[in-house]
Structure 1
């Protein structure tokens, strides 16, 4: 008999953890494992702001999927753009643009999330996100380029717009991005004797009344004080009304001359979920506590794209937050449930109590809440970096990250641009490929054509 086909979509925390556990616990003859991903690496997303600021190199947080000693999963280089759960077929667009399909017996959906945008004029054309390695590398080049161009310009209006940076989103991603990039410009401006450091301005905006409310009032205020002490202008209850190439209009009426708009105002589930004609909650795929998709035999979902019941908080409509901590543990539970379904055993529900939060603000600044214990300063920084370092999957990745941290602490940065600038900067949807997905009708038409072709 043919081996059961397990198809895993996505190479984030949940998908990789699931695959590695399947490889360890299934014998080679029990199943055929395949993973669909445009990149053959797991991106350690929480450290992305440190790549943008140059503290870490891009390679250090891109953990190779092929380094596992038990690696036997076939990696399909592409993106899943549609799923037909009735035909048990996944439509894939390869990295060179061709379309193909993969049949499955068990489908594990971990497509992750994309940057959430709103109907703000000019937003998708002029804003940049912080969700991919390419965006982080591009932003570093872009920020350094603004200093170079401001230094060379004789026009005061141009200088002002190039030295004003706007970050939208007061969650972890936005706060860490603003903090890390502000440190980059603070240190870099010393190499630009014609630039007045006082002319460089950083703005962090969020519609919420508090910064990172998940941390609690005390730590939230501590983080706010750190940012303001560094000169970052934090505006709460404010967002962007209109974005242009050289200015940003805020909802409170202010107009900031700026050529840098970084958008980190939340995430939305991958558009792949919308191709399935399945029930969703807050845009995420509805799943059971066992991570199965109702009315879709053989389909499992987890991570950012799934509304996983949070049983540790008593259920009652509570959903697990889209964090790496939950994704890792969901991946392990999901692998065990796939194995159980193969062997005819009962599935177990996912339960995990949140272990706390860490926020690295660069240098010696951090706020953390491990196991509910509030920390700030060096102790919080030690916890934050210790947690991230221990969560890296391979010894090579740990060595690279630790070496980068030590080298940056001792030698600093050379503020070198790598050449990612172009005459026409890529848009948000081009970085994250959000316009590549099919509609449910297109998916069904695709599978009908497959059946007709035999």
Structure 2
């Protein structure tokens, strides 16, 4: 008697794209129609746009970590680990579990949504001395670090050391960098009042970017408005400038300036997860080249989306691809799920098309600039639009209550400026958080799957 097995659907990644895909698959597939598996190192979805508010203490880390086990129909098996290689011909995903065991997970259909990692360049000292802002741990660590710089400056008897500890450099004037600089500047501005020995004028924040404009997606008027807000608050903005080299106590800009600092935060963009390179497939600037239906050409049952895929932007200029944003990732997740189901049922696939909902930028306090549905807003209306959008986009009611409570408590009671003790451990920089060294080369994946050769052997 033949044993009938259900098709195996494997989703890699629990970001906006992967989670939205899994949720839709759970809702639209009947219980016996397929087996669902999700690979992720953490059993939560990180609401990435609000990371700067965690770094600045406005939100607690738990409030933007949306539990995967709290919501859904509990039909999806979660493998706690990271995908480190995929053999498309054998239909095997190689996974390193959180117990450091390497396992093979076979699939019939795979949805690749591994997201992105911080983009770095070959700048001397960068990965050794810069902090990233891509993970929950990094955001919590940066908060501790910034507060510790105030403590150390307060304790120092050396005027030069005190001044260096009170200078902060943020590289990258996109959304992440701009919001990070804005929120952390508010943190130090509020905290320094509790340090009567420190001169507030010594606190200096630098926001730099090699691009000629601040957040060009906002348009000329709103971008200029955001720039004026930040400069009015004392943030020094340098455009057309980047980092030439980084050291433990100073940073050298490409224009020759040397800034004494113990804090370099790097937010200069992202690149697709190194997992994509293990496939040996065609890429566009490192992102997997897919069709408008989110399908990897010439491969059976392979879908890719989110930051790791170059999805054609049918609403944009000819030849353009969708930018790596949460808004696109969530919508692509739904399209990917529908197309997986259509493939299962022998139905035609649908292309990914979108209508832009606009942009929101929260600069902390009452400062914000937003462009919802093309309408330009400033100040409190923009702040309501920004926070309203983020609140609406939170996936669970528990998360919504936590975020709303945090916002209210911070607005009413302010911050206690408490650090939790991360600084008692060794410093952790860019190279310590994203584990980019763990991925396999394509030939290692094939050798592991075909010959059973140990990974790294």
Out of 264, 267, 270, the residue aligned to residue 270 of structure 2 is 267
Counterparts of 1:199-210 in structure 2, within 5 Å, are: 199-210=202-213
Q: For residue 216 of structure 2, what is the aligned residue in structure 1?
A: 213
Partner of 1:140: 143
- Give the drift of 1:450: 3.9
Task: Please tell me whether the aligned partners of residues 132 and 429 of structure 2 are also in contact (alpha carbons under 8 angstroms).
Answer: no
Q: Supply the distance in 1 between the matched residues of 2:452 and 2:194 (Cα, whole angstroms).
A: 60
- Partner residue of 1:233 out of 233, 236, 247: 236
Other-structure match for 1:195: 198
Aligned mates of 1:270, 1:22 — CA distance in 2? 23
Q: Deviations over 1:353-411 (max 9, x none)?
A: 21110000000000001111111111100000000000000000000000000000000
Contact 1:429–1:435 (8 Å) recurs in 2: no
Identify which of 60, 67, 70 aligns with 2:63.
60
Equivalent runs, 1:31-50 vs 2, <5 Å = 31-50=34-53
Q: What is residue 291 of structure 2 aligned with on the other side?
A: 288
Answering whether residue 229 of structure 2 is matched by residue 223 of structure 1, we say no
Q: Aligned residue for 2:376?
A: 374
Q: Once structures 1 and 2 are overlaid, which stretch shifts more, 99-108 or 65-74?
A: 65-74
Gaps of 5+ in 1: none
The residue number in structure 1 matching 2:445 is 443
Cα distance in 1, alignment partners of residues 86 and 267 from structure 2: 28
Matched, 1:73 2:76: yes
Residue of structure 2 equivalent to 1:418: 420
Provide the TM-score with structure 1 as the length reference: 0.98
**Residues in 2 aligned to 1:430 and 1:357: alpha-carbon distance in whole angstroms:** 32
Partner of 2:363: 361
CA distance in 2 between partners of 1:417 and 1:199 (Å) = 21
Deviation at 1:424, TM superposition (A): 2.6
Residues of 2 paired with 1:283 and 1:324: CA distance? 19
Relative distance call for 1:189 and 1:451 in structure 2 (3 A) is closer
The 1:423/1:58 distance shift into structure 2, 3 A limit, reads: closer
Asked whether the equivalents of residues 124 and 427 of structure 1 are also in contact (C-alpha less than 8 Å), the reply is yes
Alpha-carbon distance in 2 for matches of 1:422, 1:29: 51
Aligned to 1:292, the other structure's residue is in SS state coil
Q: Contact 1:121 / 1:242 at 8 angstroms: preserved in 2?
A: yes
Structure 1 residue 28, shift from structure 2 partner: 1.3
Q: How much does 1:422 deviate?
A: 4.1
Q: CA contact under 8 A between 2:58 and 2:406: conserved in structure 1? A: yes
> Which shifted more, 105-114 or 427-436?
427-436
Displacement of 1:449 in angstroms is: 2.3
Tell me whether 1:122 sits opposite 2:137 in the alignment.
no
Question: Separation in 1 of the partners of 2:223 and 2:422?
Answer: 35
Deviation at 1:273, TM superposition (A): 0.4
- Please report how far the alpha carbon of residue 451 of structure 1 lies from its aligned counterpart in structure 2 after TM superposition: 9.9
The answer on whether the counterparts of 2:6 and 2:34 sit within 8 Å (CA) in structure 1 is: yes
Over the aligned positions, Cα root-mean-square deviation in angstroms equals 1.1
State the alpha-carbon separation in 1 of the partners of residues 188 and 286 from structure 2.
Answer: 37
Paired with 2:116 and 2:126, the residues of 1 have a C-alpha distance of 19
Tell me what 2:246 maps to: 243
Deviations 1:197-241 (A, max 9, x none): 000100000011110000011000000000000000000111110
- In structure 2, C-alpha distance between the alignment counterparts of 1:237 and 1:139, rounded to whole Å: 26
How far the C-alpha of 1:71 sits from its partner, in A, is 1.9
Pairwise mapping of residues 156-195 of structure 1 onto structure 2 (< 5 A)?
Answer: 156-195=159-198
C-alpha contact 1:291 1:308 (8 A) present in aligned 2: yes
Alignment of 1:289-368 (within 5 A): 289-313=292-316, 316-368=318-370
1:153 aligns with 2:133: no
**Which ranges in structure 2 are unaligned for 5 or more consecutive residues?**
none
- Paired residues in the alignment total 451
- Offset of 1:423 from its aligned partner? 4.8
Where 2:59 maps in the other structure, the secondary structure is coil
SS across alignment from 2:342:
helix
2:127 is paired with a residue whose SS is helix
- Segments of 4+ in structure 1 off by > 4 A? none
Measured against aligned partners, the alpha-carbon deviations of 1:8-51 in whole angstroms (never above 9, x if no partner) come to 00000000000000001111111110000000000000000000
Task: Give the 3 Å change call, closer, same or farther, for CA 97–422 of structure 1 in structure 2.
Answer: farther
TM-score (norm 2): 0.97
Q: 1:98 offset after TM fit, Å?
A: 1.4
